[in-house]
């Protein structure tokens, strides 16, 4: 009986790395929300990393997180780096910004694992609302593939995307409702 158990364990140790290696290398995590506001009310919250950190669940997840900013305040070249005992460390840089349509960022994670991914916010008008899609895509190495067998990253990260979209929805819809009330009328 002990010999059978040993053979099964050895076979498992041989086959597990093969199984991990055969997992898809490329990944994409995406969530979408309909926001009852024009793209022009949403875009400012996406094209500025400082503004984004006001609603992003990743920035709010650790009040002790140290964030530094560089480059312009918003748009292409705006950059931030973070360091957190809870959330790890890395940096983000806006690489593409099309007003009221799209913001793309390069994400460089340095701890607890290293990875470079692309995050993208896409805004599509839909009647009186705007469909906002938050997407992250990248390439997974062997360790990330193995980690993915234990933790469903689509569920974990996607859940954070849902929280973030809900927060930006609250901000943008509140601002859109307040905008007509603050507009002045000619006399």
Q: Does the pLDDT value for residue 9 go beyond 80?
A: no
- In eight-state DSSP terms, residue 38 is -
- In eight-state DSSP terms, residue 64 is T
Mean pLDDT score, 132-154: 89
Q: What are phi and psi of 104, to 5 degrees?
A: -125, 140
Distance CA 158, CA 43 (A): 21
Choice between 5 and 172, residue whose per-residue pLDDT is larger: 172
9-13, 77-81, 88-92, 174-178: the lowest-pLDDT one:
9-13
Q: Coil, strand, or helix at residue 115?
A: strand
Distance CA 52, CA 48 (A): 6
Domain regions of the chain by residue span: 25-179
Tokens of 110: 């340095």
The model carries a pTM of: 0.86
Q: What is the CA radius of gyration of the chain?
A: 21
CATH superfamily of 25-179: START domain (3.30.530.20)
Report pLDDT digits (tens) over 100-130: 999 999 999 999 889 999 999 999 999 999 9
Q: Does the pLDDT value for residue 183 go beyond 70?
A: no
Q: What are phi and psi of 86, to 5 degrees?
A: -85, -40
Q: Coil, strand, or helix at residue 114?
A: coil
């Amino acid at each position: 009986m002990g010999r059978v158990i040993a053979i099964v364990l050895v076979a498992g140790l041989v086959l597990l790395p093969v199984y991990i290696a055969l997992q898809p290398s490329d990944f994409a995590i995406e969530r979408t929300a309909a926001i009852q506001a024009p793209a022009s009310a949403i875009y400012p919250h996406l094209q500025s990393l400082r503004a984004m950190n006001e609603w992003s669940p990743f920035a709010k997840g650790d009040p002790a997180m140290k964030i530094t900013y560089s480059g312009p305040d918003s748009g292409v070249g705006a950059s931030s780096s973070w360091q957190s005992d809870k959330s790890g460390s890395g940096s983000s840089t806006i690489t593409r910004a099309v007003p009221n349509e799209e913001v793309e960022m390069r994400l460089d994670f340095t701890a607890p694992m290293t990875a470079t991914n692309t995050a993208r916010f896409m805004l599509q008008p839909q009647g009186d609302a705007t469909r906002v899609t938050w997407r992250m895509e990248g390439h997974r190495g062997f360790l990330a593939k193995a980690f993915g067998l234990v933790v469903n990253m689509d569920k974990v990260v996607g859940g954070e995307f849902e929280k973030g979209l809900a927060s930006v929805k609250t901000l943008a819809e509140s601002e859109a409702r307040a905008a007509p009330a603050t507009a002045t009328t000619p006399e």
